[in-house]
Structure 1
Amino acid sequence: MLHLRLITPAEKTDAAVRLIDGTIGTTHLCVLPGAARNPSGDVVLCDVAREAADDLLSGLQRLGLDTTGSIAVENIDLSLSERADKAEKEAPGESADAVLWEHLSEATHEESTLSVTYLAFITLATMIAACGVVLDNAILIVGAMAVGPEFGPLAGISTAAVQRRPRLALRSLIALLVGFAVAMAVTVLFSLFMDAVGLFSQEQLDADRPQTGFVYAPDWFSFVVAVLAGAAGTLSLTSAKSGALVGVAISVTTVPAAANAAVALSYGDTVQTWGSSEQLLLNLVGIIIAGTLTLLIQKSLWSKQHERLRRRATT
């Protein structure tokens, strides 16, 4: 269940209440006349099943409450209520399958913004991966993949494509390209420093690396894994399954490929630099394609669910 807190101008309160009453899957409706001060107006509270929330939020936005008042949504971790149980049973579909498009847009907007923290995470992840490829240490590679924040911009591009939001697409693309460019540039300098102090060597890079050699040898399996991971990652975002997103992060070789390219570039190894760059590009494209297709399928399925919900509400 989700909890909605609305601030509505007095003249729009009745319309908002009628909309909530007419939405299957809502309960615990409370109206507090004149309770809001900034902005002034009435406060309307209700609970709604997650699978019915997107349609309700769209209707509230059509009333203009996002501009003249406020719409706040919170997750309810525990609700001991027969009415809540009934509302969830009446709402079509399953809550785990529901997509809150506004929440997805907000989440991807936050995760795809180019910031100092984002640059720090992707740079540190790439430097950790650089140590992993030189030492042929799979544990360091997995750690670097878990630290990397690059799935946020990738999900932002997919979301922007489905929702036709060019500004979100541009913001996500800038974060992705600038993030990897900065991370790889710093990692080149890091590699030169590590070589100067005797911790990195070209012999280590050129040696047989059974644990990490795959990061500069792209093949169709790389693309297949990227597509599967992109679909899983998108589902984890839409269903708020953060644990699944961690699994996605450690299954795709984006950061390790960027790290190997940077280390190879520092030694002038064009073969590994090009192979790692291909691996990186292949994985990024696969994730974006899979994420976009997954969202399109979810959008199509839930549009049919919403249509059935509207028909039930009018009968």
Structure 2
Amino acid sequence: MLRLRITSPPDLTPPVLDVLTADPAVSELAVLRGASIRPDGDLVLACVAREAANDVVDRLRELELPTYGSIHIEPVRTWISQAGLAAQHLAPGSGADSVVWADVTQQAYEDSETNWTFLSLLSLATLLAGIAIVLDSQILVIGAMVIGPEFGAVAALGVALVRRRGSLLVAAARTLAFGFAVAILVTTLAALVGRGLGWVTVGDVTAARPGTGFIYTPDRWSFLVALIAASAGVLALTSARVGALSGVFISVTTIPAAANIALGIAFGLGDEIRGSLLQLVINLSGMAVAGWLTLAVEQAVWARVSRYRARLTARLRGG
């Protein structure tokens, strides 16, 4: 169940109410006339089954409501309502499976912002991965991969393609490129300092590393793992089952590959740089493709559900 909090100019309130009252998936509706000061107008509160949220929001957008007012969409964690239960039964599909595109798109824009937090987390994760490579520690590699914040921006590439948002595509690509460049630069400088102090030697990087050797030796499995992990991650994001995201972070070696590139630069090791760079490109490409395909399938499926729901709603009105 989702809660809609709508601010509406007085002249738009009647058509807004028409949209909400006509949809059987809306279980609650209240209007506070003149309650909104900025923007000036009315406050409309409604509860709608998650499966029907896209249809309702799309019809409100057709009224140009976001231009003159606003639509806030909030999850309802716990509710007890017979009317709400009936509304869910009238909405085809499962709430756990449904994709609320407004929520997904907004999250994609937020994850694609190049900000201090993103750059810091990516740099710290890459530094930790660099230490993991020197110590050949799988535990530290996993820790570094969990810290990395890059998956949100990678998923945003798929959202941009599916929802046809050119500005989002540019922002996500720029954030990933700049973020990894900064993280590699920071780790390279740290490696040079460690080299100068004698803490890290070329032997630490070139010696046999049974625990972390996979980082710079990409193969067909690297791409396959990226595809599977990213598909699972996108499903987790769109269905709000974020617990599954940790598996994505641990599965795909983007952060360790970036760290190994930095170590290769610091010690002038071309093979390490080339292998790790290829691993990084394969992983990012695989995740981007998988995210796009998963979202495209979800959009196609829920478009069919929306058409079916429209026919069902028309029959209910006629009956």
TM-score interval for Structure 1 and Structure 2 normalised by the shorter chain: over 0.9
Aligned counterpart, 1:179:
179
Aligned counterpart, 2:170:
170
C-alpha separation in 1, matches of 2:288 and 2:38: 41
The reply on whether 1:146 has 2:185 as its aligned counterpart is no
C-alpha separation in 2, matches of 1:23 and 1:169: 34
C-alpha separation in 2, matches of 1:39 and 1:248: 42
Amino acid at match of 1:24: P
Aligned counterpart, 1:35:
35
Look up the SS of the partner of 2:12 in the other structure: helix
Deviation at 1:199, TM superposition (A): 2.0
Aligned counterpart, 2:248:
248
Look up the SS of the partner of 1:77 in the other structure: coil
Aligned counterpart, 1:79:
79
Aligned counterpart, 1:134:
134
Aligned counterpart, 1:6:
6
- Is contact 1:5–1:72 with CA below 8 Å preserved after alignment? yes
Matches within 5 A, 1:293-308: 293-308=293-308
C-alpha separation in 1, matches of 2:87 and 2:197: 65
Q: Matched residue pairs, number?
A: 315
User: What's the TM-score once normalised by structure 1's chain length?
Assistant: 0.98
Aligned counterpart, 1:258:
258
Residues 143-190 of structure 1 show CA distances to partners (whole Å, capped at 9, x for unaligned) of: 110111111111111111111111100000000000001110111111
C-alpha separation in 2, matches of 1:65 and 1:250: 42
Look up the SS of the partner of 1:143 in the other structure: helix
Residues 262-308 of structure 1 show CA distances to partners (whole Å, capped at 9, x for unaligned) of: 10111111001100000000000000000000000000000000001
Residues 56-89 of structure 1 show CA distances to partners (whole Å, capped at 9, x for unaligned) of: 1111111111111111111111001111111111
Amino acid at match of 2:257: A
Pick which of 249-258 and 194-203 moved more. 194-203
The reply on whether 1:24 has 2:28 as its aligned counterpart is no
Residues 10-69 of structure 1 show CA distances to partners (whole Å, capped at 9, x for unaligned) of: 121121111112223211111112221111111111101111001111111111111111
Deviation at 1:97, TM superposition (A): 1.1
Amino acid at match of 2:90: E
C-alpha separation in 2, matches of 1:56 and 1:158: 24
C-alpha separation in 2, matches of 1:28 and 1:165: 33
Amino acid at match of 2:130: A
C-alpha separation in 2, matches of 1:26 and 1:238: 22
Deviation at 1:198, TM superposition (A): 2.4
C-alpha separation in 2, matches of 1:16 and 1:238: 27
Pick which of 14-23 and 175-184 moved more. 14-23
C-alpha separation in 1, matches of 2:286 and 2:99: 22
Aligned counterpart, 1:272:
272
Amino acid at match of 1:128: L
C-alpha separation in 2, matches of 1:127 and 1:42: 52
C-alpha separation in 2, matches of 1:24 and 1:305: 15
Matches within 5 A, 1:279-294: 279-294=279-294
Aligned counterpart, 1:116:
116
Q: Percent identity?
A: 41
Look up the SS of the partner of 1:79 in the other structure: coil
C-alpha separation in 1, matches of 2:188 and 2:102: 39
Amino acid at match of 1:125: A
Structure 2: runs of 5 or more not aligned: none
Matches within 5 A, 1:188-199: 188-199=188-199
Aligned counterpart, 1:50:
50
Deviation at 1:197, TM superposition (A): 2.0
Deviation at 1:191, TM superposition (A): 0.6
